[in-house]
Amino acid sequence: MGLLTDCDRLALALLCEALAEWIEAGDTIAHPAVAQQADAARRVQSLLGEFGLTPSARAKVQGLPDLPGDDPAAGFFA
């Protein structure tokens, strides 16, 4: 989609870590992991919005326009 840059690496890494924590916490009910899972879910939801990965956030996302010369394969398929 042409939206991510090198500046987004840290936020994407945090999203991955929070998602991994949420998955690791599993489906426990009366356990300390419940709070950990809830916290990870909140962080995942927030970061998903930051990356435009929810329906409402995606509606606001605008990609960068294609610029002439941006396609490295163009020289091979012209």
pLDDT tens digits for range 12-67: 888 888 888 888 877 666 678 778 888 888 898 898 888 888 877 877 877 777 77
> What's the pLDDT score for residue 28?
64
> What's the pLDDT score for residue 15?
86
**The tokens of 31 are what?**
């356990």
> What's the pLDDT score for residue 69?
67
pTM check: above 0.85? no
Q: What angle do CA 44, 56, 3 make, to 5 degrees?
A: 75
Burial environment of residue 39 by CB neighbours within 10 A (0 to 12, 13 to 18, 19 or more):
middle
Q: Where are the alpha helices (DSSP H) in 1-78?
A: 9-25, 33-50, 55-58, 74-77
